[in-house]
Structure 1
């Protein structure tokens, strides 16, 4: 059977190297011919941003950053960029910082140089998100794709292990959603599979040795692949759920993704045994759910949304908000009852059953219940 698909590869420069961020940034600002630089970072990342930008002239530092990019903060930052005649934005931080830079670029077209300090992967996508009146809206616009991403694993050393785990799990969510997103194709599935392998190898290494660079470099590499795959495949069921929960109930982004992911995987994987096998192989596990749950358990990842503020009373409204935005391309239909069951499990922290889909292990069907070890 011949392959037929339509794939777009986004154009972006990536510079990767521990201890080289200031040098790389100065070279990129010069390459772009930029003279008026706006640096965006959170207050907690201010010292890191100053160190990163020590070799360039900065016109304005902006530190009013908040999760889910509230529209009022986006508008204020846009005004500052215009008033200072900014010609390049440098964002130093995680997904919230990158998201604010994207909000500026979306209306001004000012190019972005992203310097990630977490594993969110937002820097590798052309996806933007804004929150207004407790409702998060997302979209796609090539203007928001950073022209350059500068990765330096030393910048992630200050990220505590628990936040590293949650941030890396957010990367895994990008990979898994890319397997069956609205525009999923063989290329982004290949990137997603390698992203899962790198993240599954890197996160335990970070957990075991938080000050070591090899594990953190693997996680950064995996997070980049995750972002590229997700940008290509589009937002699937998992991200639709998490965007609603984050915007409506002010839940922390990475932890919400971490908690919801195994439940979405357990819901979808049985409907697509071939992708179940592919994800399982990347985890080197007997099934996709088994691999993910084993990884999360070993990392002591968060499991319950109730620990972050969601309540039983929120679930009926959440179901109403999520149901209309579920992509029709999801591997199996999603009903209101399905969502209620999924959200109740995620709320309480009930682990999904980590079993292989029955058709994948039936004798004589040609399937392999134990996938071959992923190439290291």
Structure 2
């Protein structure tokens, strides 16, 4: 076995059904009595539900709801939320939603040092990472800091029951992407690899059921469990080409986060396949329908999930492909295969066109 280092950041997790009712206890444990609740405009009703639950407990007084969380965590929204927070006198943060809301909670927590309780409603996994991606001046940049990691995470399967099948599919594949890259990360280790494979297996088997039967509780529970594991992987090891491509595409062309990860994943894996034969074999074993070919397994999964496969379907122009290749190959992340600009351009073109992934570059 190769040598490795393993660090585990402290983070409390509450997982189950009906666990939203435990949020007040988490705040009390943190000695936080004036929480600011964060959400997107579309999830105000969920934030208000949290506000009511928390506010019904003696001694806890929510200071309000900030409902402008936006994908890719734009700097101007963070600045506005920070002013709202300071004027409210909040002593803590509670975010409810997907990666956009979690990202805003992280941005505020790292700037203020306030405790952050994250309540995920999708399968993105951002809540388990000390990583923050922020967009300023049309370009998305990421940083990692233990202070970014939420203080506690409350997983409530009930909150995912109304997540539309399409969004369930893409946010789940987004989570799978975290674990796929974790399997060949430069600083990977056996513990993260075990979590990665279990997370991928859980999501790859449950997501097709959710798409066909959205109210299937066991499938929803299995998917949320898988997303948790994939998020842990993302938070503990480095990422490579896939995430660099998604950050470049999402931050520079305002493409939807989960959908972009879904489209890019099989193509990024296909590019790296020649350099990671052992990983490809392990992946094939946990992807149903792979026939010992991990790329085929991902193509089969995306077909079952009925997701869109082309970036052009989300507004990206063909003329943007060259610019995207330039951004994606500038200051590249570590990657198991050498980054070649012209081949990366072709990867992006295939993502734009919506072609099935193939390992021929």
Q: Compute the TM-score of the two structures, normalised by the length of structure 2.
A: 0.94
State the 1:204 CA deviation: 1.2
The equivalent of 1:263 in structure 2 is: 267
Alignment of 1:32-111 (within 5 A): 32-57=30-55, 58-111=62-115
The equivalent of 1:5 in structure 2 is: 4
Alpha-carbon distance between aligned partners in 1 of 2:25 and 2:359, rounded to the nearest angstrom: 48
Alpha-carbon distance between aligned partners in 1 of 2:139 and 2:297, rounded to the nearest angstrom: 33
The equivalent of 2:59 in structure 1 is: none
Alpha-carbon distance between aligned partners in 2 of 1:354 and 1:172, rounded to the nearest angstrom: 19
Q: Structure 2 unaligned segments of length 5 or more: list them.
A: 56-61
State the 1:261 CA deviation: 0.5
Which SS does the other structure have where 2:52 is aligned?
A: coil
Which SS does the other structure have where 1:56 is aligned?
A: helix
The equivalent of 1:292 in structure 2 is: 298
1:221 aligns with 2:225: yes
Count of aligned residue pairs for this structure pair: 352
Q: Compute the TM-score of the two structures, normalised by the length of structure 1.
A: 0.91
State the 1:122 CA deviation: 0.5
The equivalent of 1:317 in structure 2 is: 323
Does structure 2 retain, via aligned residues, the 8 Å contact 1:180–1:233?
no
Alignment of 1:1-376 (within 5 A): 2-21=1-20, 23-57=21-55, 58-284=62-288, 285=290, 286-328=292-334, 330-353=335-358
Q: Structure 1 unaligned segments of length 5 or more: list them.
A: 356-376
Does structure 2 retain, via aligned residues, the 8 Å contact 1:269–1:288?
no
The equivalent of 2:58 in structure 1 is: none
State the 1:354 CA deviation: 7.3
Q: What are the superposed Cα offsets for residues 24-58 of structure 1, whole Å, 9 maximum, x if unpaired?
A: 10110111111111000112111112223322131
Which SS does the other structure have where 1:325 is aligned?
A: coil
Alpha-carbon distance between aligned partners in 2 of 1:332 and 1:280, rounded to the nearest angstrom: 20
Alpha-carbon distance between aligned partners in 1 of 2:135 and 2:330, rounded to the nearest angstrom: 18
Alpha-carbon distance between aligned partners in 2 of 1:54 and 1:136, rounded to the nearest angstrom: 35
Does structure 2 retain, via aligned residues, the 8 Å contact 1:65–1:73?
yes
Alpha-carbon distance between aligned partners in 2 of 1:271 and 1:261, rounded to the nearest angstrom: 16
Does structure 2 retain, via aligned residues, the 8 Å contact 1:290–1:354?
no
Alpha-carbon distance between aligned partners in 2 of 1:84 and 1:123, rounded to the nearest angstrom: 24
Does structure 1 retain, via aligned residues, the 8 Å contact 2:43–2:97?
yes
Alpha-carbon distance between aligned partners in 2 of 1:51 and 1:15, rounded to the nearest angstrom: 18
Does structure 1 retain, via aligned residues, the 8 Å contact 2:4–2:187?
no
